[in-house]
Structures are given as structure tokens and as C-alpha cells.
């Protein structure tokens, strides 16, 4: 909750809106940056600890723990208050960053990164949940626009920032920098936000559900990693069997539990189910393109690494334009269906163009197609959160927000792993870079085609006041 002040449109205190957004943008950027900021520092970290074989866990530990923790922090916020969980998340993130910076071994660093990921989950989910508490649904997409924009920018800027900090200082500064910035975020969260009353509940926290969710997510990530590499080998079959068993056990447990981890009642509604599916499509397509466009540009156009990295900026520009423009238009008109429908169509078409003509396009034309791709994906990325929140009762808004974020991150994990396998398989078979990446872009286009079907099936509802 916000400290009281003159109201804006009856709900948001006008005098507190800008400082509130400063606090939420700062916490969101920290959580998003740490998804990718370590990537360019990994070679230096591997050399420092002489741990080339296990250094990938420094990145994986954060991503996995953050994904699993997203619905967990959402459920905790519904019980104990969004502001309390946000503050606790920032504290955990800063403390874990201190341990990361001073880690004596790669094992300690990976463990601290896992804790950091839990804090990062709260710093990504709680701002969106807090907006739902103080902003009417029709205006919410416009307010969430800056958060979606900073998420997109931070994701792309992370590797650049990590590389710069490592070059001018050391890899330790990738984590030290979080301490003062996180401290500012904590001060803002403590001074600008007021924790509301706790919900009185005798229900126990769903420990078993959390364990099953962690097992299922880890097994799914493992399956996505080994399937493209090993094919239908025994290890792949084992990973897939473990995934199916864990997910089935999780579903049964959630349906039977009196206090489930996931908002089961909300997830049974058509609008929320379809919004979650579309969130997975956005994660799969957007992060898949962001992850592999630089390699594609280098291989097809023969550019330098710097130039190929610069071509991520058009994707980011499209995302920023999409989330902010759609939010403002929904606020003015109240019409929202055209954005998931048109966004999937535009992003899918752009992916088809990259697949069929990308090798023959110049860099300027390629940048234009990438802007269109980002615009399509960004036009409904934040809106999905609003649709799910609007369908949820007040006592389950944070849990629903966390679940949508978890699905999007899971889609991103699968997209990065599976599309990487598509590229590796094509190159191993002797295909050219252009041919190998055509399969990647066609896969992304197929995902957005399925997203278009889901978008057309969304219920025709009006966002609440």
C-alpha cells in the first residue's frame, strides 16, 4: 500500500505515483539485470576458480531458483502482504549479492546465486502485484508499461554491463554493484510504501507443492537441455519421465490440497489459462530471438560481435514501444483484444520474414524486421498480466501474478534450450548458418501461430474499473 495523499483517478495517490514508479522500476531492473549480467563474466569466473566444467551453474542457479520462486513469493504476498515480501526480497537479494562477491569457491557462488534468484523473483513479481493493488484494471497496462520496458532493456543490457564491470574492475563488481543500488531500493520501499494488515489464516504453507514445483521445473529444464544434444538417448528418456511424473504429482497435489501453492481456482478459468499460454509463447519467442540473433547476424552477415550485439537494440526498441503504446491505448479506449491478436500475427510474420528472406536482407532492413518483431511481442506482454489479475479475486492477485511470471520464464528457458538444439542439429548436419537459423525462426513463428489461436479464443470481457 502507498502512504496516503491526493488521489489520481480515485485510486493512485498523485503525489506518490512518480516516486512509487521509481521504486518499482529500480527493483524490477535489478531482478531483470541479474538474469543476464553474469553471462559475459563467466569466462573470467571460470578461470578464477579453475572450474570450467561447473561455471554454468552460476547462471543456471539464478534462473532456476527465480522461476520456481515466482509463484512462491506470490502466494506468500497474498498471505503476508505485497510490501513485506518486496522488502524481504530486496534484503535477501542484497545479502546474497554480498556472499556472491566474496565467494571462496564456485560451489558457494552457485548456492548464493540460487538465493539471489529467490530475491530476484520477488523483485520482479511484487512490483506488478503492487500495481494491481493501487491502479484500476483499465489503467494498469499503462502503468505496467514502464516495468515491461525496463525488463526488456535490462535483459539486453545485462551482458553489456557485466562485460564492462569485469573489464574495468573485476567479476566481483558484477555483484558488488547490487549492494548500493539495492540499498537505495530498500530505502524507497521502506519510506514510500506502507505494509497493510496481514491476512489471518491458519493454513500451512504448501511445502510439498513447492518441492514438486522445483522438481518438475528442474526436470523440464534438464529435458530441454539434453533432448537437442543427445536425442532420444536413455538420459533423455529419464529426464522426460521424471518431468511427466513430477508435473502429474504436482497437479494431483494442487487439486487435493486445502491450501495449494498455485491459485487453482483462478487457473481453471479460460481467460487465465489462455493468458498463461500466451505468456509462455512470449517467453519462448522473445528470449529465443534475443539469445540467438547475435550469432545469426555474425554467421550470415559476417559482422563483428559488437555489431551483432547492437542489432538487439531494434528488438528492445520494439518491445518498449509495444508495451507503452498498447498500455496507453487500453487506458484511453478500454479495448484490449486487438493487441494479443495483432501482436501474435505481427511477431509471427516478422519471424517468417527472418526465416525466408533474412539471409538476403541488409542490416538496416533486418533491424526493421526486428523492430516489428519486438513491437508485436511487446504489445501484449504486460497486458497478459492485467488480464490474469483482473480475473483473480483480491486475495489471489499476487499468486496469480507470480504464476504468470513463472510460466513466461519457463517458456523462455525452454525456448533458449530447444532453439539452441535446433541450431546445433542443423550445423552438425552440414547446413549453412542461414539454413540452420531459418529453422529457428520458423519454430518461433509456429509458437506465435499457436499464440494467435489462443488469442482469438480469449473471452470477450471488459477490464474492471
- Please check whether residue 308 is in contact with residue 366, taking contact to mean a CB–CB distance below 8 angstroms: no
Percent of the residues in the chain that have a pLDDT greater than 70, as a whole number: 93
Higher pLDDT: 3 or 273? It is 273
The residue-averaged pLDDT of 156-176 equals 85
Asked if residue 4 has pLDDT above 50, the reply is: no
User: Best-predicted range by mean pLDDT among 118-122, 132-136, 205-209, 227-231?
Assistant: 118-122
d(CA 162, CA 59): 12
**H-only helix segments in 37-55:** 42-49
pLDDT at 269: 84
| Range with top average pLDDT, 21-30, 224-233, 255-264, 371-380 | 371-380
Q: Which of 399, 427, 426, 415 is nearest to 80 (CA)?
A: 399
pLDDT tens digits along 386-433: 888 888 888 888 889 999 999 998 888 888 778 877 787 787 788 888
Question: 305-342 pLDDT, tens per residue?
Answer: 667 778 888 998 999 999 989 888 888 887 888 999 99
Higher pLDDT, 236 or 27: 27
Residue-by-residue DSSP string for 254-303: HHH-SS-SS-HHHHTSHHHHHHHHHHHHHHHHHHHHHHHHHHHHHHHH--
Nearest CA to 403 among 416, 387, 417, 418? Answer: 387
Q: Which has the higher per-residue pLDDT, 9 or 251? A: 251
Enter the DSSP assignment of 170.
-
Q: What is this structure's pTM?
A: 0.85
Higher-scoring residue by pLDDT: 281, 54: 281
Closest CA to 212 of 245, 234, 166, 186: 245
pLDDT of 11 higher than 60: no
Bigger pLDDT: 112 vs 137: 112
pLDDT at 243 over 60: yes
State the pLDDT at residue 200: 58
Mean pLDDT (the chain, rounded):
85
Highest mean pLDDT among 62-66, 267-271, 337-341: 337-341
Sign of CA dihedral 142, 385, 279, 56: positive
Q: Is the pLDDT of residue 86 over 50?
A: yes
Judged against a pLDDT cut of 80, whether residue 385 lies above it is answered with yes
More confident residue, 3 or 168: 168
Evaluate if residue 8 carries a pLDDT over 80.
Answer: no
CB 268 within 8 A of CB 367: no
Burial of 197 (0-12, 13-18, 19+ CB in 10 A): exposed
* Rounded CA separation 155/167 (Å): 20
Please give the backbone phi and psi of residue 361, each rounded to the nearest 5 degrees, phi first.
-85, 145
Across 5-34, average pLDDT: 67
Cα–Cα dist 143/131, whole Å: 8
426: enclosing H helix or E strand: helix 397-428
pLDDT for the residue 2? 44
Amino acid at each position: 500500500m502507498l502512504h496516503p495523499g491526493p488521489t489520481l483517478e480515485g485510486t493512485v495517490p498523485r503525489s506518490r505515483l512518480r516516486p512509487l514508479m521509481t521504486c518499482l522500476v529500480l527493483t524490477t531492473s535489478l531482478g531483470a539485470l541479474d538474469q543476464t549480467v553474469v553471462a559475459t563474466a563467466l569466462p573470467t569466473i571460470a578461470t578464477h576458480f579453475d572450474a570450467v566444467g561447473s561455471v554454468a551453474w552460476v547462471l543456471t542457479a539464478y534462473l532456476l531458483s527465480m522461476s520456481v520462486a515466482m509463484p512462491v513469493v506470490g502466494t506468500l504476498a497474498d498471505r503476508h502482504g505485497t510490501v513485506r515480501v518486496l522488502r524481504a526480497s530486496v534484503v535477501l537479494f542484497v545479502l546474497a549479492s554480498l556472499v556472491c562477491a566474496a565467494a571462496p569457491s564456485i560451489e558457494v557462488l552457485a548456492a548464493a546465486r540460487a538465493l539471489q534468484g529467490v530475491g530476484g523473483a520477488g523483485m520482479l513479481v511484487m512490483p506488478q502485484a503492487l500495481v494491481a493493488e493501487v491502479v484500476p484494471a483499465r489503467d494498469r497496462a499503462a502503468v505496467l508499461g514502464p516495468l515491461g520496458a525496463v525488463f526488456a532493456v535490462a535483459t539486453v543490457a545485462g551482458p553489456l554491463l557485466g562485460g564492462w564491470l569485469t573489464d574495468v574492475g573485476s567479476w566481483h563488481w558484477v555483484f558488488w554493484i547490487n549492494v548500493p543500488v539495492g540499498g537505495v531500493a530498500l530505502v524507497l520501499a521502506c519510506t514510500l510504501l506502507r505494509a497493510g494488515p496481514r491476512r489471518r489464516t491458519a493454513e500451512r504453507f504448501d511445502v510439498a507443492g513447492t518441492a514438486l514445483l522445483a522438481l518438475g521445473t528442474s526436470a523440464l529444464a534438464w529435458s530441454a537441455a539434453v533432448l537437442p544434444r543427445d536425442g532420444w538417448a536413455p538420459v533423455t528418456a529419464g529426464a522426460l519421465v521424471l518431468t511427466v511424473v513430477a508435473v502429474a504429482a504436482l497437479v494431483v497435489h494442487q487439486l487435493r490440497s486445502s491450501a495449494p501453492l498455485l491459485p487453482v481456482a483462478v487457473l481453471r478459468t479460460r481467460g487465465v489459462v489462455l493468458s498463461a499460454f500466451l505468456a509462455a509463447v512470449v517467453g519462448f519467442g522473445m528470449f529465443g530471438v534475443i539469445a540467438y540473433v547475435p550469432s545469426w547476424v555474425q554467421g550470415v552477415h559476417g559482422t563483428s560481435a559488437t555489431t551483432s550485439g547492437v542489432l538487439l537494440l531494434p528488438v528492445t526498441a520494439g518491445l518498449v514501444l509495444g508495451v507503452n503504446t498498447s498500455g496507453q491505448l487500453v487506458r484511453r479506449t478500454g479495448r484490449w483484444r486487438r493487441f494479443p491478436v495483432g501482436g501474435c500475427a505481427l511477431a509471427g510474420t516478422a519471424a517468417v520474414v527472418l526465416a525466408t528472406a533474412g539471409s538476403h536482407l541488409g542490416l538496416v532492413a533486418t533491424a526493421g524486421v526486428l523492430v516489428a518483431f519486438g513491437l508485436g511481442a511487446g504489445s501484449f506482454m504486460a497486458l497478459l498480466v492485467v488480464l490474469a489479475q483482473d480475473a483473480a479475486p483480491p486475495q489471489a492477485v499476487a499468486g496469480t501474478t507470480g504464476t504468470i511470471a513463472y510460466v513466461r520464464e519457463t517458456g523462455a528457458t525452454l525456448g533458449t534450450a530447444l532453439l539452441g538444439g535446433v541450431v546445433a542439429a542443423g550445423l552438425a548436419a552440414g547446413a549453412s548458418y542461414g539454413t540452420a537459423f531459418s529453422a529457428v525462426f520458423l519454430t518461433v513463428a509456429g509458437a506465435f501461430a499457436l499464440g494467435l489461436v489462443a488469442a482469438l479464443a480469449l473471452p470477450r470481457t471488459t477490464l474492471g474499473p
